[in-house]
Amino acid sequence: MYKLAIVVPCYNEEAILKNTCETLVNLLDDLTLTGKITDQSYVLFVNDGSSDDSWNILCREHDLSNRINAINLAANVGHQNALLAGLDYVQDDVDIAISIDADLQDDICVIEQMIDKYSKGADIVYGVRNNRKSDSFLKRNSANLFYKFMTAMGVKTIYNHADFRLMSRRVIKQLMLYKERNLYLRGIIPSLGYKTDCVYYTRLKRGGGKSKYSLSKMLRLASDGITSFTTRPITLITVLGFIIILFALAAFVYTLISYFTGNTAPGWSSLMISIWFLGGVQLFSIGIVGKYVGKAYFETKQRPRYDIVEELKHE
């Protein structure tokens, strides 16, 4: 029997928190009855600086059930850092931790299978979606594009896996040795190694409240994901620059030839287009390089990733 903590980051989730608490407590009770986990197992909510009633709801639920624990972060630090705060908090206390989103879009019925796979020796068990039918057209296609792009850039990712996963204690301990501020868990965890396994499920629609991932947040996650794992974009820029130089040389040779044969081309518009195009390519490339420089800048500051200001804990 294992001691389990389900770690749930939440940001402005007042619409669904009560329901989430009840569902997860019932699940823990069932798993305890079937002898999979100890009755000390619990849910840890990480309140990621919500500005709504989320924390008050958690306080009430904590009083009602001894399975509900929570920590309150001083500010909104984002999904990935909130999740990390939760994992860090439980690491010495439990054998395994499962992370899941507060909206329970991921099917909690496979949690039992995750624990079974852990007992058969897997240190990491990924929850993988069968399909993306419950996603909007935009999200589905942008996600597909993202996975393809990540693979092309040389980053190991698990296709159609978000942050629904089981980790053993030693994996969490290893993860905590990664001190970088700009975390992209979906990339780091597959690179840790260990024996891994997957469980498959169909993702549901959000039960209430709104998605906290706007298009701009998704793009940021994607660009962080890539730049945290590989410098291949910079290599590609170098190659691109080289190819453009070859083009320029060819154009130079062509101009020389046409000068000597006496037919000089007027071509003002083609000149402007090429200037603008190359200007654009250069700015874009400098932007990418700048992103890496900026990252290095922020990492050298070694700022704390989060601050826990309140704890609700049953002994």
The residues that touch ligand UDP, with contacts defined as CB under 6 A, are: 9-11, 13, 48, 76, 78-79, 82, 101-103, 105, 211-213
**Binding partner of residue 61 among Mg ion, ligand UDP, none, CB cut-off 5 to 8 Å per kind:** none
**Binding partner of residue 212 among ligand UDP, Mg ion, none, CB cut-off 5 to 8 Å per kind:** ligand UDP
Q: Which residue is nearest to Mg ion (CB)?
A: 103
Query: Among the candidate windows 5-13, 25-33, 103-111, 122-130, which touches Mg ion by CB under 5 A?
Result: 103-111
Among 20, 47, 72, 105, binds Mg ion (CB under 5 A): 105
Among 13, 14, 88, 101, binds Mg ion (CB under 5 A): 101
Question: Which residue, 221 or 281, has its beta carbon nearer to Mg ion?
Answer: 221
Least Å distance, CB 220 to Mg ion, is: 17
Tell the residue number behind the tokens 């990390």, with chain if given: 84
Least Å distance, CB 180 to ligand UDP, is: 18
**Binding partner of residue 78 among Mg ion, ligand UDP, none, CB cut-off 5 to 8 Å per kind:** ligand UDP
Residues at the contact surface with Mg ion, assessed by CB under 5 A = 101, 103, 105
